[in-house]
Structures are given as structure tokens and as C-alpha cells.
Amino acid sequence: MNRAAASIVGMMAIALYSGMGMAAADPYQLNLPEPQTIIARQIYDQHTMLLWICLAIFIGVFGVMFYSVLKHRKSVGYKAANFHHSTTVEIIWTIIPFFILVGMAFPATKTIIAMKDTSSPDITIKTTGYQWKWGYDYLTGEGEGISFLSNLATPRAQIENASPKEENYLLEVDNPVVVPIGKKVRIIITANDVLHAWWVPALGVKQDAIPGYIRDAWFTIDKPGTYRGQCAELCGKDHGFMPIVVEAVEPEKYTQWVAEQKSKSAAAVVDVSKEFTMDELKAEGEKVYAANCVACHQANGKGIPGTFAALDGSKVATGPKAGHIDIVMNGKTGTAMAAFKHLSDVQIAAVVTYERNAWGNTAGDVVQPSEINELRK
């Protein structure tokens, strides 16, 4: 029992005195991460205050109880009293906790109201949860029009213990969300398939992503840095493998980043009416497959029997291509197959072509981006 009590005292002491200085990757981190926004700081302080109040009550109640345990025992010859109620005492210990709670609720209420104030942001970013990655669309403000997907960057080999795990194991992505410091960022959160939750502890933001509904939250980051978080709502098999990385940079660097993204996306614009060859589509399709499909359908196209359908030799992938395109674009209700409409025309065309002509599949037909483009109309 003393061990637990000592841990509590330790936890609180560390919370107050040394928590602030701890690095994010401290293996013995006992407290919330160092707060980077005003809301996260308020949360941190309220949590610390609560722990002190709890500690005081804990010592009070168990001080009395353990005094009694030591002194009022039969083995030391203590004779039992026979009192069994006292209205005064009972009223007192009903009223006092009530006022303590009011004291706790007051600052919390102010923070809740502040958390909800997503008005007049400098930048608005929409994030969409997918099984199992995040998509980001910069909607308004500087960077408007930027759009990308953010996948786990940790190699499979590290997860399967085939190679040593590196520092940011499971907390690293290919495309982080870049935001400028000192600007109010409103984040609009939704999902494509099932529930997810967008959570970055240092920013004090956690919001469920709900398919068909949008929610929002906001943050203003004080200083540059890389802040890592994870999906916080069970979303299936790879729930533990869809991290969130927010990179906060100086406004000038942000402008630079926006320019880079714009030129990249300008270079990536492809004329959808262009005719692609089978090999071009298959090469691109393999990449799209690796980024979007492999988690369920597996690299060998065999899926996971009973859970995720095989594509190698499947009716869909060897049958008419219209049905194949439909299932990729619109998903299949009642199964784990989500809609992949958010991919580009080229990507959808490429991945369908790839699936129809990879492994043992030899449909031999080619799906052109123009066909996909036509279907979207």
C-alpha cells in the first residue's frame, strides 16, 4: 500500500518540479508532455492542481483510517464504541466536497469555452481519417489548395523485429503537417470509413473523426518543433500504425514550404486524357497498391483468409473491369473495403490496372485515367 502512496507523491512532485524539462522520448515520462499551446498549458496546470487536491484528501482520509487501523484493533485490547451516526458530521462531509468540486469546475469551464472558440483562424486545414492513414487538405489561408496523404514511415521490418527500431518508431510519417508558429490554425476533422481520432498531446487537441460529420478544433503553437501524436479511436487492424506528425516552423519557412508544395503539385498535374501504356500504369499502380491496399490485401494479393478478401484470382479482379473500378471507387458496404474516391484518376486507373495484371491475374485490359474521370461526372 505504501508503495502506491509513494508513487502518487512521486508522480506529483515530478509533475510540478521537473515535468517541464522532460524530453518527449523520456522512457520514464510520468506526466503529460510539455505543453505547446495555451490550451495544453491550461490542461497541464489544471491536472497538476487536481493531483495536489487529490493528494491532500488522500492523506486526510487514509491518515485517519490508518491511525484507526493501528490503534483501534482488538489485538491491542481496544474496546469498540457503539456510535453509528451523526447528522452534523454527515452534512459537513457532504457539503465540503461539493465546494471543492466547484473550485475544480471553475477553471475547467473557462478552458472548455476557450477550446470551442474556433472563430477567425489564420489557416484552416481539413484532416480526414482513412483506414489507416491521415489525409490533409489546406482549405483557407496561406497554403490554400495543398493536399496530401500522410502514411506511417516506419519500415515493416522494424515492426516485425527484423531490423533495429529507430528513435521515432511508429511516430514518423512520410508527409508531416506543416504549420507556421504563432498563427491560429483551425483543424476540421472528419473520416472516410470508420471512426478515428486526431490527437497530438503537446497541442492539447484530441477530436474524434466521424464519417459523414465534421468536427473542429484549433491550436496556436508557440515555438518551432516536431510534435507527434497517434490515432486515438479504435479503427481496425492498423489502428496503432497511423501516427500524426505536426511540424511547426517559422512563418518564413512556412512560406517557403508552401511554395515547394505548389511547384510539386504543378509538376504532378497530368493530362487525364493522355493514353498510358500498360507498363506505365502497372508501375504506378504498384506504388499506389503499396501505399493503400497492401495492409489488407497483402503484397502477394492473397489477403487474409476470412478477414480480407484475396485479389489474386478473385472474381472482381478477373471479371469485367466496370465492377472492379466501382468497388475501388465506392467501397463495399458491410465489409472493411472502404471507398477510395479520394485517390486521383491516374492513381485509381493505375491500381486497378495493376490488380488485374499482377500475381496470377491476367485480365490483360488497361484502365485509362480518362475512364475514371468520366465516371466522376
* Interface with other proteins (CB under 8 A), residue from 139, 144, 169, 224: 169
* Interface with other proteins (CB under 8 A), residue from 62, 250, 283, 320: 62
Cβ distance to other proteins smaller for residue 243 or 285 = 243
The 8-class DSSP code of residue 341 comes to: T
| Residue 18 contacts other proteins per CB under 8 A | no
SS3 label, residue 117: coil
CB of 198 to other proteins, least distance (A): 10
* Interface with other proteins (CB under 8 A), residue from 52, 98, 265, 300: 98
Cβ distance to other proteins smaller for residue 145 or 155 = 155
Q: Is 88 exposed, middle or buried (0-12, 13-18, 19+ CB in 10 A)?
A: exposed
| Residue 21 contacts other proteins per CB under 8 A | no
Alpha helices, DSSP H, located in 82-196: 87-115, 156-159
CB of 283 to other proteins, least distance (A): 30
What is the footprint of other proteins within residues 289-328 (CB under 8 A)? 304-307
**Segment contacting other proteins (CB under 8 A): 93-101, 251-259, 277-285, 368-376?**
93-101
- The amino acid sitting at 294 is V
Q: With contact defined as beta carbons under 8 Å apart, do 109 and 173 qualify?
A: no
* Interface with other proteins (CB under 8 A), residue from 121, 143, 180, 204: 204
* Interface with other proteins (CB under 8 A), residue from 130, 136, 199, 257: 199
Cβ distance to other proteins smaller for residue 136 or 219 = 219
How many residues sit in the footprint of other proteins (CB under 8 A)? Answer: 108
What is the footprint of other proteins within residues 340-369 (CB under 8 A)? none
| Residue 111 contacts other proteins per CB under 8 A | yes
Contact letters (x/-) for other proteins, 232-251, by CB under 8 A? xxxxxxxxxx----------
Residues in CB range of 326: below 8 A, 6 or more apart: none
The widest CA-to-CA distance across the chain, in whole angstroms, is: 97
| Residue 104 contacts other proteins per CB under 8 A | yes
| Residue 268 contacts other proteins per CB under 8 A | no
Q: With contact defined as beta carbons under 8 Å apart, do 187 and 127 qualify?
A: yes
SS3 label, residue 321: helix
313: phi > 0 → left, psi -120 to 50 → alpha, else beta; which?
left
| Residue 161 contacts other proteins per CB under 8 A | yes
Residues in CB range of 212: below 8 A, 6 or more apart: 190
CA atoms of 214 and 210, how far apart (whole Å): 7
The distance in angstroms from the start CA to the end CA of the chain is 68
| Residue 193 contacts other proteins per CB under 8 A | yes
368: phi > 0 → left, psi -120 to 50 → alpha, else beta; which?
beta
| Residue 59 contacts other proteins per CB under 8 A | no
What is the footprint of other proteins within residues 210-229 (CB under 8 A)? 210-213, 215, 229
CB of 140 to other proteins, least distance (A): 21
Say how many C-beta atoms besides its own lie within 10 A of residue 319's C-beta: 12
